[in-house]
C-alpha cells in the first residue's frame, strides 16, 4: 500500500511540471473549481515563479511527466467539461511518442517472454523501430515461414510504472471528489477507473489481439474495411505479432490523390465503418487517430492498434442512435425524452426546457459542412448545458465521444465539405428501422418469451430443491415450546434471580420428597 506521503511527493513533482507550463492556470480561473484545489494549484505556480500570462502548453506538460501521463492526457482530451475547452483541444494534439528502447533490451524481452531464442521465431527483425510510443514500440520482421509482420513489444518495466502512477491518480481523484459540488458531479474517480481499465487492456497484448479478432468478426461482410491477421503463435502478453500492412497513411492526402484514390469515398467509408462498429456491433476501435489507419491500393481502409476499444450495450446503442437521428432531423423533444429515459438527466427537470436547450445547441449546426461547424463543437455545446440540468458525466460514452471527434477530424481532412450528419443519417435511420421498428419489437418479444420458457424447467428444479417432497415417515406431532435455562434471550438480572430461587425451591422439594420416602 502506497503511503500518503509518497502520493503527495509525486503530486508535488507533477504539479510543478504542470505549473511551469501554465497547465494549471485554467483551474485557478474556473469559478466552479473547488476552493481548496484552486489554492493548491496557485501554490504550485508560485513555487515555480511562473506568471499566469503566457502560452499554456498542456500537451508538453503531460509528455514531460511520463508515459502514464501521456495516456492520461489523451484520455482527458475527451473531457472539456473537466479540463476546459482550451486544454481539451490542446491535448488532442498530444502525440504518444517517446525515444525508442535499445534493440538489445527489446530482443531480451522477446526471448524471455517466449523462453526461446529470437532466431527460432523470426528470420529477421529490423533493429530500428517503425514507431515508439509510451507503452510499446513496433519493429518490422520476417517470420521463419517468410511472412512480413509487425512486432509490437511492451517497454520493459512499463506495467510497473503505470501501476505506480495510477495508484496516485486514484488517490488524488478520491480527494478531489470529496471536495463535493462540481468536483463530485464530474466524477473524477470514475474517470480514473475507466482510464485504469483501458490501460490495463493496453498493457496485455493478448487482449489487444483478442480485440482485433473480435472486431474482425463484427465487421465481417462490411466491404472496404479490414483488420490485419493475428499471428497467435508469436503473440503473448508482452509481444503482439500481426500481418504487415502495405498502404498509405490516411493522413497523407497528397499520396492518396497521387495513387488515384477517391478521397470523398474514403471519408464516407470511414464514417460508416465507425457507425457500424459503434451502433450495430456495440464494439468499436476507440483509437482511430491518423497513425492507426491506412489505405490499401484497392481503397480498403486498414486499422491497426487495438489497445483501446469501446463497448456499448444494446439499450444504450438504441438511445445513441435515436439521439443522433433526432439531432440530424431536429426532433429535439425526442432527444430530450431519451435523456430522461436513460436517466442522464434527473427526473425533477423539465423535458420541454431540456429540449429547448438542445435546440440552442443543435439548430445552428444543421445542414452545414464540418468545415463550418463540427461534431466537436456540438459536443462542447452539450457539455455546456449539463451543469444547468445536473447531468452527471457518463463515462461509458466518453470513448465514443473521443472517437467521434477523431473520425470527424480525419474525414474533414479528406473532404472539407463533408457533412457528418448527412453522411450518418441514412445509416442511422436504417438501423433504427431495423432495430426499433414493429418487426423488431415482435422479434424481441418472441425471443424474450422463448428464453423465459426455456428457463422454466431450471426454475422448477430449484424450487423442488428448496421444498423437497415429503418422505415415507409420518409427520411428527407439534411439540410444546420449552424455555431453557441456557436460553439467555430477553433475560434480565431479575429473571436470573427468579430462576435461581426456582432452582433452590425445586431442589429442596426433591430432597424433602426423598427423605419422606415418597420417591423411594
Residue 471, all three cell numbers: 418422505
Q: Which residue among 287, 297, 298, 449 is the active-site one? A: 287
If you write DSSP's letter for every residue of 170-209 in order, what string do you get?
HHHHHHHHTT-THHHHT-HHHHHHHHHHHHHHHT-HHHHH
**Three-point CA angle 360, 317, 273, nearest 5°:** 95
User: With contact defined as beta carbons under 8 Å apart, do 129 and 139 qualify?
Assistant: yes
What CA–CA distances, in Å, run from 189 to 36, 192, 198, 342, 493?
Answer: 17, 5, 14, 22, 52
If you write DSSP's letter for every residue of 417-486 in order, what string do you get?
T--HHHHHHHHHHHHHHHHHSHHHHHHHHHHHHHHHHHHHHHHHHHHHHHSPPP-SSPPPPP------TT
If you write DSSP's letter for every residue of 105-150 in order, what string do you get?
HHHHHHHHHHTS-GGGTEEEE-SS-SEE-SSEEEEEEEETTS-EEE
**Annotated catalytic, 231?**
no
Give me the residue label for grid cell 427537470.
Answer: 349
User: With contact defined as beta carbons under 8 Å apart, do 94 and 59 qualify?
Assistant: yes
Give me the residue label for grid cell 418479444.
Answer: 445
Residue 281, all three cell numbers: 456491433
- State how far the Cα of 241 lies from the Cα of 143, in Å rounded to an integer: 10
Residue 27, all three cell numbers: 483551474
- State how far the Cα of 365 lies from the Cα of 45, in Å rounded to an integer: 39
For the stretch 356-361, contacts whose Cβ atoms lie closer than 8 Å and that sit 24 or more positions apart, written own/partner, are 356/332, 357/385, 357/388, 357/389, 358/327, 358/332, 358/382, 358/385, 359/330, 359/332, 360/385, 361/385
Task: Give the catalytic positions in this structure.
Answer: 287
Amino acid at each position: 500500500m502506497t503511503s500518503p506521503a509518497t502520493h503527495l511527493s509525486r503530486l508535488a513533482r507533477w504539479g510543478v511540471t504542470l505549473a511551469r507550463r501554465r497547465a494549471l492556470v485554467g483551474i485557478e480561473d474556473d469559478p466552479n473549481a473547488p476552493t481548496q484545489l484552486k489554492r493548491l494549484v496557485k501554490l504550485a505556480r508560485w513555487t515555480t515563479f511562473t506568471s499566469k500570462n503566457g502560452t499554456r502548453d498542456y500537451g508538453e506538460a503531460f509528455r514531460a511527466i511520463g508515459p502514464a501521463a501521456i495516456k492520461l492526457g489523451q484520455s482527458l482530451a475527451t473531457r472539456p467539461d473537466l479540463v476546459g475547452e482550451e486544454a481539451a483541444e490542446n491535448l488532442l494534439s498530444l502525440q504518444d511518442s517517446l525515444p525508442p528502447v535499445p534493440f538489445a533490451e527489446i530482443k531480451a524481452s522477446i526471448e524471455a517472454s517466449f523462453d526461446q531464442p529470437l532466431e527460432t521465431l523470426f528470420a529477421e527483425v529490423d533493429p530500428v523501430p517503425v514507431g515508439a510510443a509510451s507503452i510499446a514500440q513496433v519493429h518490422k520482421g520476417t517470420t521463419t515461414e517468410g511472412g512480413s509482420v509487425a512486432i509490437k513489444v511492451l517497454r520493459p518495466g512499463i506495467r510497473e510504472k503505470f501501476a505506480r502512477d495510477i495508484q496516485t491518480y486514484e488517490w488524488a481523484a478520491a480527494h478531489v471528489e470529496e471536495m463535493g459540488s462540481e468536483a463530485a458531479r464530474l466524477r473524477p474517480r470514475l474517470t480514473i477507473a475507466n482510464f485504469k481499465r483501458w490501460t490495463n487492456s493496453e498493457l496485455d497484448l493478448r487482449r489487444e489481439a483478442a480485440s482485433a479478432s473480435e472486431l474482425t468478426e463484427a465487421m465481417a461482410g462490411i466491404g472496404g474495411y479490414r483488420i490485419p491477421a493475428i499471428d497467435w503463435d508469436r503473440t503473448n502478453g508482452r509481444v503482439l505479432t500481426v500481418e504487415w500492412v502495405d498502404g498509405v497513411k490516411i493522413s497523407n492526402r497528397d499520396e492518396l490523390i497521387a495513387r488515384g484514390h477517391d478521397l470523398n469515398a474514403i471519408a464516407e467509408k470511414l464514417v460508416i465503418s465507425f457507425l457500424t462498429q459503434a451502433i450495430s456491433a456495440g464494439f468499436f476501435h476507440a483509437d482511430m487517430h491518423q497513425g492507426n489507419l491506412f489505405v490499401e491500393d484497392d481503397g480498403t481502409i486498414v486499422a491497426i492498434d487495438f489497445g483501446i476499444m469501446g463497448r456499448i450495450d444494446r439499450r444504450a446503442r438504441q438511445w445513441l442512435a435515436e439521439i443522433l437521428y433526432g439531432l440530424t432531423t431536429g426532433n429535439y423533444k425526442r432527444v430530450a425524452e431519451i435523456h430522461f429515459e436513460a436517466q442522464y438527466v434527473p427526473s425533477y427537470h423539465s423535458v420541454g426546457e431540456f429540449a429547448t436547450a438542445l435546440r440552442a445547441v443543435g439548430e445552428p449546426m444543421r445542414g452545414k459542412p464540418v468545415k463550418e461547424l463540427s461534431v466537436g463543437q456540438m459536443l462542447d455545446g452539450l457539455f455546456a448545458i449539463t451543469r444547468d440540468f445536473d447531468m452527471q458525466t457518463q463515462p461509458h460514452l466518453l470513448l465514443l465521444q473521443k472517437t467521434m471527434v477523431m473520425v470527424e477530424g480525419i474525414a474533414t481532412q479528406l473532404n472539407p465539405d463533408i457533412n457528418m450528419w448527412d453522411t450518418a443519417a441514412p445509416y442511422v435511420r436504417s438501423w433504427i428501422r431495423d432495430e426499433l421498428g414493429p418487426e423488431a419489437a415482435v422479434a424481441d418479444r418472441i425471443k424474450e418469451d422463448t428464453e423465459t420458457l426455456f428457463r422454466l424447467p431450471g426454475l422448477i428444479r430449484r424450487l423442488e430443491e428448496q421444498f423437497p417432497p415429503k418422505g415415507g415417515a409420518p409427520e411428527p406431532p407439534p411439540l410444546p415450546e420449552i424455555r431453557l435455562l441456557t436460553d439467555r434471550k430477553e433475560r434480565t438480572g431479575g429473571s436470573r434471580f427468579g430462576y435461581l430461587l426456582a432452582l433452590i425451591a425445586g431442589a429442596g422439594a426433591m430432597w424433602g420428597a426423598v427423605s419422606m420416602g415418597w420417591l423411594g
